[in-house]
Structure 1
Amino acid sequence: MEAIPFTLYSRVWCHLCEDMLAALKALEQPGRPFAITVLDVDADPALEARFDELVPVLYGDPDGEELCHYFLDREKVEAYIAAQIAEA
Protein backbone atom coordinates (compact mmCIF):
# COMPACT_ATOMS: atom_id res chain seq x y z
CA MET A 1 0.00 0.00 0.00
CA GLU A 2 1.14 3.51 -0.78
CA ALA A 3 1.84 5.76 2.19
CA ILE A 4 -1.11 7.85 3.40
CA PRO A 5 -0.17 11.53 3.07
CA PHE A 6 -0.44 14.03 5.89
CA THR A 7 0.77 17.61 6.16
CA LEU A 8 1.29 19.06 9.62
CA TYR A 9 1.71 22.82 9.86
CA SER A 10 3.78 23.32 12.96
CA ARG A 11 6.39 25.48 14.64
CA VAL A 12 9.53 24.79 16.62
CA TRP A 13 9.16 24.67 20.42
CA CYS A 14 5.41 24.09 20.21
CA HIS A 15 4.35 21.37 22.65
CA LEU A 16 0.92 21.04 21.03
CA CYS A 17 2.65 20.48 17.69
CA GLU A 18 4.85 17.77 19.17
CA ASP A 19 1.82 16.17 20.85
CA MET A 20 -0.17 16.11 17.61
CA LEU A 21 2.71 14.56 15.67
CA ALA A 22 3.13 11.87 18.33
CA ALA A 23 -0.62 11.15 18.39
CA LEU A 24 -0.68 10.88 14.59
CA LYS A 25 2.32 8.53 14.52
CA ALA A 26 0.58 6.35 17.14
CA LEU A 27 -2.21 5.70 14.60
CA GLU A 28 0.19 4.29 12.02
CA GLN A 29 -0.03 0.53 11.65
CA PRO A 30 1.73 -2.14 9.61
CA GLY A 31 0.11 -2.15 6.20
CA ARG A 32 -0.93 1.49 6.40
CA PRO A 33 2.21 3.60 6.47
CA PHE A 34 2.03 7.38 6.73
CA ALA A 35 3.99 9.99 4.81
CA ILE A 36 4.01 12.95 7.20
CA THR A 37 5.33 16.27 5.96
CA VAL A 38 5.96 18.74 8.77
CA LEU A 39 6.11 22.37 7.67
CA ASP A 40 7.41 25.09 9.98
CA VAL A 41 5.02 28.03 9.57
CA ASP A 42 7.65 30.42 10.93
CA ALA A 43 9.95 29.58 8.01
CA ASP A 44 7.50 30.97 5.45
CA PRO A 45 5.81 34.38 5.85
CA ALA A 46 2.78 33.23 3.82
CA LEU A 47 2.26 30.19 6.08
CA GLU A 48 2.79 32.29 9.19
CA ALA A 49 0.16 34.77 7.99
CA ARG A 50 -2.23 31.94 7.10
CA PHE A 51 -1.92 29.90 10.28
CA ASP A 52 -0.36 32.24 12.89
CA GLU A 53 -1.59 31.00 16.30
CA LEU A 54 -3.77 28.20 14.87
CA VAL A 55 -0.94 25.65 14.85
CA PRO A 56 -0.71 22.78 14.90
CA VAL A 57 -2.94 22.24 11.90
CA LEU A 58 -3.26 18.84 10.22
CA TYR A 59 -4.26 18.26 6.62
CA GLY A 60 -4.32 15.08 4.61
CA ASP A 61 -3.87 16.68 1.22
CA PRO A 62 -2.40 20.17 1.74
CA ASP A 63 -4.84 21.49 -0.88
CA GLY A 64 -7.77 19.69 0.75
CA GLU A 65 -9.79 20.01 3.90
CA GLU A 66 -8.31 20.69 7.33
CA LEU A 67 -8.58 17.57 9.47
CA CYS A 68 -7.97 19.26 12.83
CA HIS A 69 -6.03 21.89 14.72
CA TYR A 70 -4.61 22.23 18.24
CA PHE A 71 -5.43 18.59 19.10
CA LEU A 72 -5.70 15.44 17.00
CA ASP A 73 -9.32 14.66 16.09
CA ARG A 74 -8.94 10.88 16.06
CA GLU A 75 -12.39 10.24 14.56
CA LYS A 76 -11.82 12.61 11.65
CA VAL A 77 -8.29 11.33 11.02
CA GLU A 78 -9.48 7.69 11.09
CA ALA A 79 -12.22 8.58 8.58
CA TYR A 80 -9.60 10.18 6.32
CA ILE A 81 -7.39 7.08 6.62
CA ALA A 82 -10.33 4.80 5.77
CA ALA A 83 -11.13 6.92 2.71
CA GLN A 84 -7.50 6.76 1.55
CA ILE A 85 -7.48 2.98 1.93
CA ALA A 86 -10.77 2.66 0.05
CA GLU A 87 -9.36 4.73 -2.84
CA ALA A 88 -6.22 2.59 -3.09
Structure 2
Amino acid sequence: MSAGPARVTFYSRPGCHLCEEAEVVVAAVCAELGESYETVMIDADPELQARFTDEVPVTFVDGRQHDFWRVDATRLRAALTA
Protein backbone atom coordinates (compact mmCIF):
# COMPACT_ATOMS: atom_id res chain seq x y z
CA MET A 1 0.00 0.00 0.00
CA SER A 2 1.05 3.59 -0.48
CA ALA A 3 2.63 5.26 2.51
CA GLY A 4 0.94 8.64 1.95
CA PRO A 5 -2.66 9.67 2.33
CA ALA A 6 -5.32 7.77 0.43
CA ARG A 7 -5.65 8.97 -3.16
CA VAL A 8 -9.16 7.55 -3.46
CA THR A 9 -12.09 8.60 -1.31
CA PHE A 10 -15.20 6.47 -1.60
CA TYR A 11 -18.43 8.07 -0.37
CA SER A 12 -21.03 5.47 0.56
CA ARG A 13 -23.98 4.69 2.78
CA PRO A 14 -25.10 1.53 4.59
CA GLY A 15 -27.48 -0.74 2.72
CA CYS A 16 -26.62 0.65 -0.71
CA HIS A 17 -26.23 -2.22 -3.17
CA LEU A 18 -24.50 -0.01 -5.76
CA CYS A 19 -22.06 1.05 -3.04
CA GLU A 20 -21.25 -2.54 -2.20
CA GLU A 21 -20.60 -3.39 -5.86
CA ALA A 22 -18.52 -0.28 -6.47
CA GLU A 23 -16.39 -0.76 -3.37
CA VAL A 24 -15.35 -4.20 -4.62
CA VAL A 25 -14.00 -2.52 -7.78
CA VAL A 26 -12.29 0.28 -5.84
CA ALA A 27 -10.67 -2.20 -3.43
CA ALA A 28 -9.45 -4.45 -6.26
CA VAL A 29 -7.96 -1.64 -8.36
CA CYS A 30 -6.32 0.01 -5.35
CA ALA A 31 -4.84 -3.31 -4.22
CA GLU A 32 -3.56 -4.02 -7.72
CA LEU A 33 -1.82 -0.63 -7.90
CA GLY A 34 -0.64 -0.49 -4.29
CA GLU A 35 -2.87 2.48 -3.50
CA SER A 36 -5.04 2.98 -0.46
CA TYR A 37 -8.57 4.28 -0.27
CA GLU A 38 -10.79 5.58 2.46
CA THR A 39 -14.51 5.05 2.81
CA VAL A 40 -16.68 7.87 4.13
CA MET A 41 -20.25 7.12 5.17
CA ILE A 42 -22.29 10.13 4.11
CA ASP A 43 -25.13 9.55 6.58
CA ALA A 44 -22.78 10.51 9.44
CA ASP A 45 -22.47 14.06 8.07
CA PRO A 46 -25.56 16.14 7.16
CA GLU A 47 -23.57 18.22 4.67
CA LEU A 48 -22.29 15.16 2.81
CA GLN A 49 -25.72 13.56 2.97
CA ALA A 50 -27.29 16.62 1.33
CA ARG A 51 -24.53 16.84 -1.27
CA PHE A 52 -24.38 13.20 -2.35
CA THR A 53 -27.70 11.65 -1.32
CA ASP A 54 -28.84 10.77 -4.85
CA GLU A 55 -25.40 10.01 -6.28
CA VAL A 56 -23.85 7.42 -3.96
CA PRO A 57 -21.54 5.79 -4.37
CA VAL A 58 -19.28 8.70 -5.29
CA THR A 59 -15.58 8.23 -5.92
CA PHE A 60 -12.95 10.96 -5.72
CA VAL A 61 -9.38 10.57 -6.95
CA ASP A 62 -6.79 13.03 -5.68
CA GLY A 63 -9.54 15.28 -4.32
CA ARG A 64 -11.53 15.51 -7.55
CA GLN A 65 -14.82 13.76 -8.29
CA HIS A 66 -14.19 10.80 -10.56
CA ASP A 67 -17.35 8.66 -10.72
CA PHE A 68 -20.77 8.22 -9.18
CA TRP A 69 -23.22 5.32 -9.09
CA ARG A 70 -20.86 2.89 -10.80
CA VAL A 71 -17.08 2.58 -10.80
CA ASP A 72 -15.38 1.50 -14.00
CA ALA A 73 -12.17 -0.36 -13.19
CA THR A 74 -10.43 0.75 -16.39
CA ARG A 75 -11.22 4.43 -15.81
CA LEU A 76 -10.16 4.25 -12.16
CA ARG A 77 -6.91 2.47 -13.05
CA ALA A 78 -6.18 5.12 -15.71
CA ALA A 79 -6.81 7.95 -13.24
CA LEU A 80 -4.48 6.39 -10.68
CA THR A 81 -1.68 5.77 -13.16
CA ALA A 82 -1.89 9.07 -15.06
Indicate whether the TM-score tops 0.5: yes
**Identity, % of aligned positions:** 34
Separation (CA, whole Å) in 2 of partners of 1:23 and 1:44: 24
Q: When the two structures are aligned, how many residues end up with a matched partner?
A: 79
CA apart distance, 1:34: 2.2
> CA separation in 2, counterparts of 1:67 and 1:74?
12
**Aligned-residue CA RMSD in angstroms?**
1.7
Secondary structure of the 1:58 match is strand
Which consecutive unaligned segments of at least 5 residues does structure 1 have?
Answer: 84-88
Answer yes or no: is 1:67 the counterpart of 2:69: no
1:21 aligns with 2:33: no
Q: d(CA) in 2 for partners of 1:17 and 1:34?
A: 19
Normalising by structure 2, report the TM-score: 0.83
| AA at the equivalent of 1:58 | T
Per the normalisation by structure 1, the TM-score is: 0.78
Q: Secondary structure at the match of 1:37?
A: strand
Ranges in structure 2 where 5+ consecutive residues have no aligned partner = none
Contact 2:19-2:56 within 8 A present in 1 as well: yes
